[in-house]
Amino acid sequence: METVTTTQSGAEPVRISKKMLWGGRIMSAVPVVMLLMSSVMKLAKPAFVVEGFKHLGLPEHLTLGIGILELACTLVYIIPRTAVLGAILLTGYLGGAILTHLRVGEPVFAQVVFGVLVWGGLYLRDPRLRALIPLRSLAA
Question: Which domain covers residue 123, as residue numbers?
Answer: 17-131
**Assigned domain for 111 exists:** yes
Residues 6 or more apart from 134 whose CB is under 8 A from it? none
Give the Cα separation of 108 and 90 in Å (integer). Answer: 15
41-60: per-residue pLDDT in tens?
A: 999 999 999 999 999 999 99
pLDDT (tens digit per residue) in 96-136 = 999 999 999 999 999 999 999 999 999 999 988 888 888 77
Confidence band for 9, pLDDT divided at 50, 70 and 90: low
The four Cα atoms 91, 106, 52, 39 give a dihedral, to 10 degrees, of 20
- Give a yes or no: residue 79 inside a domain: yes
124 is a domain residue:
yes
**How many distinct structural domains can be found in the chain?**
1
Whether 139 is in a domain gets the answer no
Within-domain flag for 9: no
Residue 11 lies in a domain: no
Eight-state DSSP code of residue 102: H
Inside any domain, residue 94: yes
Burial 5-39 (b: 16+ CB within 10 A, else e): ebeeeeeeebebeeebbeebeebbeebbeebeebb
Interval 27-41 mean pLDDT: 97
Give the pLDDT confidence of 59-91 residue by residue, as tens digits: 999 999 999 999 999 999 999 999 999 999 999
